Amino acid sequence: MIVVLLNSYIALLALFVWLRFIPLNLFWKLSPVIVLLALLVGLFIPMGWGAPSGPAMVIRYSVQIVPSVSGEVVDVPVVSNAPIKEGDVLFRIDPTTYSAQVSAIEAQLKFAELRLSQMTQLEQRGAGRTFDTEQREAEVDQLRAQLEGARWSLEKTTVRAPAEGYVTNLALRKGARVTAQSAAMAFIDVSHTVLGIEIPQIYARYIQAGQPAEITFKIFPGRIYTGRVETVLQALSTGQVQPSGLAVTPPDVQSAPFVVRIVLDDKDVAQRLPAGSTGLAAIYTDRVKPSHVIRKVVLRQTAILNYVNPF
Query: Domains in the chain, start-ordered, CATH in brackets?
Result: 1-46 (no CATH), 51-64+189-239+254-311 (2.40.30.170), 65-188 (2.40.50.100)
For 164-187, the pLDDT digits (tens) are 889 988 999 999 999 988 899 999
Q: Are 185 and 76 in contact (CB under 8 A)?
A: no
Least confident span in 149-153, 186-190, 225-229: 186-190
Written in H, E and C, the secondary structure of 74-133 is EECCCCCCCCECCCCEEEEECCHHHHHHHHHHHHHHHHHHHHHHHHHHHHHCCCCCHHHH
- Quick: pLDDT tens for 29-39: 777 777 677 76
Least-confidence region, from 90-99, 200-209, 241-250: 241-250
- Model confidence band, residue 262 (pLDDT cutoffs 50, 70, 90): very high
Query: In three state form, how does the secondary structure of the chain look?
Result: CHHHHHHHHHHHHHHHHHCCCCCCCHHHHHHHHHHHHHHHHHHHHHHHHHCCEEEEEEEEEEEEECCCCCEEEEECCCCCCCCECCCCEEEEECCHHHHHHHHHHHHHHHHHHHHHHHHHHHHHCCCCCHHHHHHHHHHHHHHHHHHHHHHHHHHCCEEECCCCEEEECCCCCCCCEECCCCCCEEEEEEEEEEEEEEECHHHCCCCCCCCEEEEEECCCCCCCEEEEEEEECCCCHHHCCCCCCCCCCCCCCCCCCEEEEEEECCHHHHHHCCCCCEEEEEECCCCCCCHHHHHHHHHHHHHHHCCCCCC
pLDDT > 90? residue 282: yes
Read off the pLDDT band of 13 (50, 70, 90).
low
Tens digits of residue pLDDT in 76-88 = 999 988 889 999 9
Per this entry, what is the length of the chain? 311
Compute the distance between CA of residue 215 and CA of residue 217 in angstroms, rounded to an integer: 7
CA–CA dist 285, 300 (Å, integer): 18
What pLDDT does residue 288 have? 86
Residue 238 has pLDDT above 70, yes or no: no
